[in-house]
Structure 1
Amino acid sequence: MRYTRHELEALSGAPSREAQALRWAEAYAALAAAGFSGDYDGLLASEEPLSRRGKKISGGGGRKRPEAPAHQFSEVDAWRNGGSGVHQATGEPFDRGEDVEYEDDSDDEYDGILKPAFAVDGEPDFESGEPLDGFEYLRRVRWEANQIPKVKVAKIDLRAAIKEQTPYMPEIPDIPKCSPDLCASKEWEDSFITYFSETRLAFLELDSSDEPSVSGAVKNSCKPGISFEPQIDPTLTMIRKMDAVSRAATLRNYIDMIQSFDTLSRNDCLWLFALCVAVEPPLDAETCASLRSMLRKCSTILAAKSEMDDEVVMLNILVAISGLYFGQHEK
């Protein structure tokens, strides 16, 4: 006979726990009369290891609950049947009240989740020298583990740690400050940044078009450091011969080259200006670091100047490009 879901749910709708226990007792008796109680007893037997995982403690004394016979309802059934069950032998209902506690059988944490893969007995013999077998080795490992507290709170004085810390980051000095008389004004910087942005936009539009340059050169991939001649002034044709990767690499190489200079010539400033116009966004981290190095170098040279000349003007232009337009200036 097959029961529907609603019929099975109706079995758990008794008005009281005693009536509920009686219903389940009648259902079990019907299963026994039909010869199918053995299957149900097999389900109970499969759940017995779960019911033996804890101790039943009542009134302060703990004792292990004896195994229930296969034909009786176990506590697992009581949990499944809404917290109530019945002993088939006595007919008395039982339930798990608030006065019943369950705790782990073992007093040793190794019998629980930290149970070792290889159990060994006895104490280690440290006087015998090196361990002669794996069991002696495990005894010593377990003995050493028992000497370590389960919870260790480390009190660290951060002030002392900072003093003893190994410096792994370089000490980078601040950007030098030049004389206010030689620095560009805010109005000039705003005007120049607008002009520089328009220049870059015009170049990028020309570079992205199919229109050839004056000499008819076509853009190709050039090796960094070989695609330009620092002794001559940069031209539009020379810059357009480089691809995006070569332009960024050439700019980085040129900035590395000027780090050993005490002054910048007009030709150096022209190449730096031209490469900054041609470099394509977004800039990678290495190119941004190079632009920051150019800002520091130009500021260092500018801080050493005492009077206005052409180099001061060019240095202010490069400082505005690297610091303001490319955002490398420290606030």
Structure 2
Amino acid sequence: MLLYGFTASAQKTVNIEEPTIQSKETQTKTMKRKVAIGRFTNETEYGKGLFYDKENDPMGKQALDILSAKLAASEKFLLLERNDLAALLEEANRNGQSSQQAIGADYMIIGSITEFGRKTTSQTKVFSASKTQTVEAAVNLRLIDVTTGQIIFSDEGKGAAEITTKSSFVGTGGHAGYDATLSDKAISAAIDQLVENVINKLSDKPWRSYFLTIDSDAIIIVGGQSQGIEPGMEFNVLTRGKQVKNPQTGIMITLPGKEIAKIKVEMTGGETPETEYAIVSVTNGEINAENINNYIIEEPK
């Protein structure tokens, strides 16, 4: 609203608390879990005009960037973006690969913006006027165990941000437009409500790796320095747990595997998180080289 004879001066009233992240000195060393962010969609009608492109939705990309930044700040995860999730799964199905092989991570996050709206309220007095812009957003996050396909965490968070512009009568006029940064702040506030629970849930889950190859030359597993693997580390080798169906719910349950061996890291290699590997030796037990896909490698508890 244009107010003749007024000068606008912005006064922000946003109060958003960032999640507390421990410093490197106070953090205990943990193995970084591989986490893929599959997609972040905009399920609202906001911003969906005639030329709207679902695959390049700016609000969905905005939310994905905010979530990635907050998870990366914890320094506990190796994050992989998988915006082309549908194409990856389709290709894996054609090649006879598992979804885990296609995604390249043990856990995957899928998010959506379920609510988004903005409003403006004005108040006019004899010698002053004010206008408050408010943006509200709701975000849903689902955490999936890629190995089993089960949703292990799902929740929705809501956030709001606002800015107030005040005007005083001086005879020159003024106008304050929409503050686009309010969208970032509202979505960030909604994600803040969920990210700590996501971090805790992921941290409670065991770090995993898998065998790449076992032959007379070397025994090689997936993962390297970016996940925290260093020479001298020891890991447990377990058989994959049997899957059984719960007769009451119909949900498949993965039973605990059996520990059959221990391995020790001799050296690491690879140039990127996707190509990193570690050469290991067996220190206890035996591993069947003909059945390496039946094993899971976990850090000792």
**TM-score between both structures, scaled by the size of structure 2:** 0.17
Give the TM-score, by structure 1 length: 0.16
Structure with the bigger RCO (C-alpha within 8 Å, sep 6+) is 2
Question: Which of these two proteins has the greater Rg computed from alpha carbons?
Answer: 1
